Amino acid sequence: MSANARQLEYQQSLLYRIRHSTAHVMAEAVLQLFPDAKIAIGPAIEDGFYYDFDLPRALTPEDLGAIEERMRVILRSGSDFNKKVITAAEAQDIFTSQPYKLELIDGLVQGSVDEHGNPLKEPPELSIYESDGFVDLCRGPHVENMRQINEQAFRLINVAGAYWRGDETRPMLQRIYGTAWNTREELDAYLWRMEEARRRDHRKLGKELDLFSINPEVGAGLVLWHPNGAMVRHLAEAYCKDEHIKNGYDLAYSPHIGRAGLWETSGHLVWYKENMYAPMQIDDEAYYAKPMNCPFHIQIYKNKTRSYRELPIRIAEWGTVYRYERSGVLHGLLRVRGFTQDDAHIFCRPDQMPEEIDRTLQFCLHILRHFGLGNFHAYLSTRNPDKFAGELPDWDMATQALRQALERAELPFDLDEGGAAFYGPKIDLKMIDALGREWQLSTIQFDFNLSERFGLEYTGDDGQPHRPFMVHRALLGSMERFMGVLIEHYAGAFPVWLAPTQAMVIPIADRHFDYAHLVAQQLREAGLRVDVDERDDRMQAKIRDAQNMKIPYMLVVGDMEAAAGQVALRLRSGENLGAISVEGFLARARKEIVELV
RNA sequence: GCCCUCAUAGCUCAGUAGGUAGAGCGCGCCCUUGGUAAGGGCGAGGUCAUGGGUUCAAAUCCCAUUGAGGGCUCCA
């Protein structure tokens, strides 16, 4: 099922109406506590609802408790939700002291915009809902009666700022988020899930497992990879690079900075400048840190004349780019200011293009699935008729190829009509993080702009110059974001092939150190990443620490093991498998590495 | 960038009328040599994010800055 279909199903559910109605009850409670409050909008959302208010003062967490209590009192009234269709004049009369409602009415009546400010095809019918004396402009639907809302099954979560109509030039309102369910048990389960999500937050795990840090002295949004995290990243990159080479890509390296002229030609200085850092002067020339790798790869392509015989050319680079992101949007590894894309640019002939797109998407899925990622949303973004570069037939061909690739891969996708960038249509794959937020990883997008600006050509079999299709693609997206998603996906317990330390040898007493090192050395020679815990601690403490570090294998060695040339194998699941020969363990580890356990 | 909240030892956090700081873990040393999730003792470690201000006195109150968290906007 696509995200759109899921959304529709949700909107028809009882739970959706419960949440929407709970938002009304919350607004009534807020108005009782703050009679001067101006109310804006309050829809049901995933897992709950929110309502935006313009209040005389900032709300505190204590206020939320008071509002919740007031809501329970209201619910006990057992009032009905009554719908009434009204005229615009009646509506304006009812909401004279509610300026935001008046603006909504105005928008709806003009037939131009809905409550979020999005355009509407025709003016809708206006309706109000009344419950317990509280009247709100609302299209519904709601539950019939407040008794359908379980007073033990909702909770106000937090308060946050939100611009009126999402417009940063309009007033900042206070948004109260809440969650509501059918039963107390469902609410508890939800709260437990949220708790669980916080436990697998990559920022928390990054610290606990000593994977990375972001240090204010270095700068916001700039990541320091510690040895553990660097190992995981290295393994992920090494795997991907090998796969790229196997799949016909050529690797490239390009510098971190380039002359202003390059970015003028590419157009970045016109339409991407606000995301680029200030230039540095070198010998009277301005140089910019690269926000993208494309111009460099294009220069590699252009370094010599290209024949139709050598296409497609696929140039791949783990290229580190720097982009200015507004301070408020930075988020752990998922939104940073300096990051490394697994970037590649494909240059191909029109006749090769559909197969090339197909192949790229298949390759992308192959890579993602190797990392155990299958839970993502696919989007196809098509041409914005008002703003696009390139030729219409090319757009149509490209869009068709993208669509067919998705269909052949049997990937459900959402169509984002007109959502493409001006330079070309694209496929995006977005992953869900632990807290349910979507982050874009993979993208496959055409670029009709750069190929034109740089005048890309190849010589056809007719001896004439032709313009190749240029496709920009990143599969993991950026290593930083990908690692963030990966950490949360595995909750830090990386599969054996990715675990920074695969096995910890745990000597029971000092006299077993020599044997422990012998075992470790044997395993290292076989290619495993192994450490020996030589600390002056009891075995139990070492097991606990290894387990907390989510190390896949714990190899306990004492007198018996040393005598028999064995190790006592314990898994991070807590399972104790007893003594096994070193060769036996090695065979098991090798098997699990291949099986991506 | 905007709204709200926050910043105390390497980490997690106490510090509740303003009177110059505590715990656990971790770290160092010592004892202990223990068979599947924390053995014991002693010790070192903090200009209470930074800079101003109020006050006899500021971790505590006020302002600014930096950084972080939750959202909003943005993410061609």
Coil, strand, or helix at residue A267? coil
CB of A331 within 8 A of CB of A437? no
- List A469's β-bridge partners, or say none: A348
Q: Which nucleotide is nearest to A165 (CA to C1')?
A: B72
**Residue A1 — very low, low, confident or very high, per pLDDT cuts 50/70/90?**
low
Question: What's the mean pLDDT when you consider all of chain A?
Answer: 93
A133 CA from B20 C1′ (Å): 57
Q: Indicate if the pLDDT at residue A302 is higher than 80.
A: yes
* pLDDT tens-digit series, residues A409-442: 999 999 998 889 899 999 999 987 766 778 899 9
Q: What is the DSSP string of A511-555?
A: GGHHHHHHHHHHHHHTT--EEE--SSS-HHHHHHHHHHTT-SEEE
Phi-psi region of A221 (alpha: psi -120 to 50; beta: other; left: phi over 0): left
- For A228-245, the pLDDT digits (tens) are 999 999 999 999 999 999
Question: Any atom of strand B under 7 A from CB of A56?
Answer: no
Q: How far apart are CA A219 and CA A246, in angstroms?
A: 38
Which amino acids of A are annotated catalytic?
Answer: 294, 323, 341, 343, 345, 426, 472
Say if residue A254's pLDDT is above 80: yes
**Length A490 CA → B70 C1' (Å):** 24
Give nearest nucleotide to A547 (CA–C1'): B37
Q: Tell me the pairing of strands A413-416 and A154-163.
A: unpaired
Of the candidates A421, A427, A477, A429, which has an alpha carbon nearest to the alpha carbon of residue A450? A421
- A 409-438, residues with C-beta < 7 Å of strand B: 421-423, 435, 437
The answer to whether the CB of A309 falls within 8 A of the CB of A408 is no
* Spacing of A219 CA from B59 C1' in Å: 26
Residues 460-499 of A with CB under 7 A from strand B: none
Which 8-state DSSP code applies to residue A180? Answer: E
What confidence category does residue A31 fall into, taking pLDDT thresholds of 50, 70 and 90? very high
Q: How far apart are CA A402 and CA A55, in angstroms?
A: 48
End-to-end CA distance of chain A: 29
* pLDDT reading at A76 higher than 90: yes
Q: Look at residue A119 in the predicted model and tell me its pLDDT.
A: 75
CA dihedral (A59, A61, A67, A71) in degrees, to 10, reads: 140
Give, in order, the Cα–Cα distances in Å from A550 to each of A234, A287, A416, A491, A509: 19, 45, 40, 9, 23
Other beta carbons less than 10 A from residue A182's beta carbon? 14
Between the CA of A208 and the C1' of B14, what is the distance in angstroms?
Answer: 22
Q: Give distance CA A438 / C1' B29 (Å).
A: 51
**Global confidence as pTM:** 0.93
Query: CA(A255)–C1'(B59) in Å?
Result: 47
pLDDT of residue A531: 96
Q: Is A591 helix (H, G, I), strand (E, B) or coil?
A: helix
Å: A160 CA to B6 C1':
14
- If 0-12 CB within 10 Å is exposed, 13-18 middle and 19+ buried, where does residue A122 land? exposed
| pLDDT tens per residue, range A336-395 | 999 999 999 999 999 999 999 999 999 999 999 999 998 888 999 999 888 889 999 999
Taking residue A533's Cβ as centre, other Cβ atoms within 10 Å add up to 19
């807590």: which residue's tokens? A574
A270 touches strand B (CB under 7 A): no
Name the residues in A547-586 having a C-beta closer than 7 Å to nucleic acid strand B: 547-548, 554, 556, 558-561, 568, 570, 574, 576, 578-579
Tens digit of each residue's pLDDT (9 = 90 or more) over A151-209: 999 999 999 999 999 998 999 999 999 999 999 999 999 998 888 888 899 999 999 99
pLDDT per position as a tens digit, A113-158 = 777 777 777 778 899 999 999 999 998 899 999 999 999 999 999 9
Question: Cβ of A166 < 7 Å from strand B?
Answer: yes
Q: Which nucleotide is nearest to A450 (CA to C1')?
A: B76
A533/B40 CA-to-C1' distance in Å: 20
Q: Say whether the CB atom of A541 is under 7 angstroms from strand B.
A: yes
CA gap A149, A326 in Å, rounded: 40
CA–C1' gap, A60 and B22, in angstroms: 29
Predicted pLDDT of residue A96: 93
Pick the closest to residue A502 from A528, A523, A525, A522 (CA basis): A528
Q: Which of residues 169-208 of A touch strand B (CB under 7 A)?
A: 172, 174-175, 203, 207
Res A111 pLDDT > 90 = no
| HSE value, Cβ hemisphere, 13 Å, CA-based, for A404 | 13
Residue keyed to tokens 């290619």 = A527
A222 CA from B67 C1′ (Å): 13
Q: Specify the higher pLDDT residue, A276 or A216.
A: A276
The interface predicted TM-score of the complex, written ipTM, equals 0.92
Mean pLDDT of A316-343: 94
Segments in A225-338 forming alpha helices (H): 227-246, 260-266, 268-271, 294-302
Q: Which chain B nucleotides are covered by protein, judged by CB under 7 A?
A: 1-5, 11-12, 26-27, 30-39, 66-76
* Strand B within 7 A of A160 CB: yes
SS3 A209: coil
Nucleotide nearest to A323 (CA to C1'): B75
**Any idea which residue has 């709950």 for tokens?**
A48
Q: How far is CA A425 from the centre of its chain?
A: 20
Whole-number percent of chain A with pLDDT over 90: 84
Position A545 scores a pLDDT of 95
The answer to whether some atom of strand B lies closer than 7 Å to the beta carbon of A387 is no
Asked if the bond preceding A56 is cis, omega within 30° of 0, the reply is no
Beta-strand ranges (E) seen in A55-153 are 82-86, 126-131, 134-137
- Locate A118 and state its tokens: 């999005």
What span, in angstroms and rounded, lies between the C-alpha atoms of A480 and A484?
Answer: 6
Nucleotide nearest to A570 (CA to C1'): B36
Give the integer Cα–Cα distance in Å for A424 and A367.
Answer: 24
Specify which residue's alpha carbon is closest to the C1' of nucleotide B37: A544
pLDDT surpassing 80 at residue A486:
yes
Q: Which of residues 316-375 of A touch strand B (CB under 7 A)?
A: 325-332, 335
Cis peptide before A465 (omega within 30 of 0): no
Q: In the predicted model, what is the mean pLDDT of residues A498-527?
A: 96
- Cα gap A477→A532, rounded to integer Å: 36
Q: Is A99 exposed, middle or buried (0-12, 13-18, 19+ CB in 10 A)?
A: middle
Within window 69-88 on A, which residues have Cβ closer than 7 Å to strand B? none
Tokens at A134, concatenated: 């509280």
- Distance in angstroms (rounded) separating the CA atoms of residues A485 and A470: 29
Which nucleotide across the nucleic acid strands is nearest to A513, CA versus C1'? B33
Q: What are the tens digits of pLDDT across the range A434-469?
A: 667 788 999 999 999 999 999 999 999 999 999 999
Contacts with A301 (C-beta within 8 Å, 6 or more apart), sequence order: A313, A315, A345, A347, A456
C-beta of residue A258 within 8 angstroms of C-beta of residue A251: no
